[in-house]
């Protein structure tokens, strides 16, 4: 087993252990979930701790399975440390965008590694736009579609999915990846520009108070 496998399994293992603890301990779950009222009380740790909690086993499995699928591309292109930085920064980025959008709703709560995983997805796609996702879809098309789906979901608020965290995480993963390897902009300008468009759309919608 190489270091790439180990760092991915470490993240999956820690997240799974903490999530299983929360499944059986409601006080623990409520203490560490993302919650606007709690953050306003000064409990800033919720920006991070919510990313290792999940609502149920299905939620946990989907996020960790997706992470496992994309993680090796990021670790192989960079290294384990940079992977962890992108993962944790995307977790924070997802929580931060959720806070900005929902800061006036003190009842708003959320859990899940979706923001962190979204950052890894966007990073992996930038590093290898031709990678094939579900049903042979090119990675960069999947990335754009994923963002458009999240933007629509964020506007409609018709389900219990934290679409704003997905978007915040994806934006963070996108930016940090380009900071680590700015040659991507020169080598793949079309893909970088295409994946930037939904990010610009999110910024415009926030400025217009449409989300």
Beta bridge partners of residue 35, listed in sequence order: 109
The full DSSP string for 198-210 is: HHHHHHHHHHTT-
* 3-207 homologous superfamily: Rhomboid-like (1.20.1540.10)
- In percent, the amount of the chain with pLDDT more than 90 equals 64
Give CA angle at 87 (62, 36), nearest 5°: 80
pLDDT at residue 1, as a whole number:
47
Report residue 158's pLDDT band, with 50, 70 and 90 as the boundaries.
Answer: low
* Mean pLDDT rounded to a whole number for the chain: 90
Residue 165 in tokens:
């965290």
Separation CA 119–CA 136 (nearest Å)? 21
H helices present in the chain, as ranges: 3-23, 26-32, 36-40, 46-49, 57-77, 80-102, 114-127, 139-156, 163-180, 183-187, 189-207
pLDDT at residue 145, as a whole number:
84
First to last CA, the chain: 44
Give yes or no for residue 161 having a pLDDT over 70.
no
Lowest mean per-residue pLDDT among 5-9, 65-69, 71-75, 154-158:
154-158
Residue range 168-187, pLDDT digits in tens: 999 999 999 999 999 999 99
Active-site annotation holds for 98: no
CB atoms within 10 A of CB 112: 27
Residues 111 and 55 sit within 8 Å (Cβ to Cβ): yes
Structural domain boundaries in the chain: 3-207
Catalytic residue (choose from 19, 77, 114, 123): 114
Active-site annotation holds for 130: no
Q: pTM of whole model > 0.75?
A: yes
């Amino acid at each position: 087993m190489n270091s790439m496998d180990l760092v991915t399994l470490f993240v999956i293992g820690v997240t799974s252990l903490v999530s299983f603890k929360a499944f059986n301990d409601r006080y623990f779950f409520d203490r560490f979930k993302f919650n606007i009222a709690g953050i306003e009380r000064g409990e800033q740790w919720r920006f991070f701790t919510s990313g290792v909690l999940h609502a149920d086993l299905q939620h946990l499995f989907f996020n960790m399975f997706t992470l496992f699928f994309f993680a090796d591309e990021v670790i192989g292109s960079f290294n384990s440390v940079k992977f962890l930085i992108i993962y944790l920064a995307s977790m924070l980025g997802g929580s931060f965008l959720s806070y900005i959008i929902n800061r006036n709703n003190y009842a708003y709560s959320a859990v899940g590694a979706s923001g962190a995983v979204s950052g890894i997805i966007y990073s992996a796609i930038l590093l290898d736009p031709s990678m094939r996702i579900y049903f042979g879809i090119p990675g960069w098309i999947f990335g754009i579609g994923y963002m458009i789906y999240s933007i629509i979901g964020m506007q409609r608020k018709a389900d219990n999915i934290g679409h704003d965290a997905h978007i915040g995480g994806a934006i963070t993963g996108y930016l940090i990846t380009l900071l680590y390897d700015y040659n991507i902009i020169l080598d793949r300008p079309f893909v970088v520009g295409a994946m930037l468009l939904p990010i610009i759309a999110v910024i415009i919608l926030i400025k217009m108070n449409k989300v």
